[in-house]
Amino acid sequence: MRWLRLLVVVLVGLLAFLQYRLWVGEGGSRSVARLEQQVKQQTRENAGLQQRNDALAAEVEDLKSGEAAVEERARSELGMIKPGETFYRVVEPDGAAGTQDEAVTADGDAPADAPAPQEP
């Protein structure tokens, strides 16, 4: 009879130990949930990087296959024009007013070569 109680206590202890390992220990449900969250985050990051890689691959293919893409980049990034073309720069009227305000020095006087600001 005494050995039966001892066996029950040992089995209950073993059950408690296994339940603890299942819920809290390494490889338990908490760590599995944490790993699943990391997998989801990595999957999202990989999808974003894959889109970026696809866009870069398409751009490389476009640059290799045609002159139009090369010409577009030369015009936009390097400011190049073709022979015989005329370059026009469009200046906004608001930009001209901002340059007069910048012409005033730190002590409030206009430089000698700058026109004097007009009073309204």
pLDDT of residue 96: 57
Q: Is the entire prediction scored with pTM above 0.75?
A: no
d(CA 8, CA 15): 10
Which residues of the chain are modeled with pLDDT < 70? 95-120
pLDDT of residue 114: 46
Q: Which two tokens stand for residue 25?
A: 């220990």
pLDDT tens sequence across 7-36: 999 999 999 888 887 777 777 777 888 899
Amino acid at 95: G
pLDDT of residue 108: 47
pLDDT of residue 82: 83
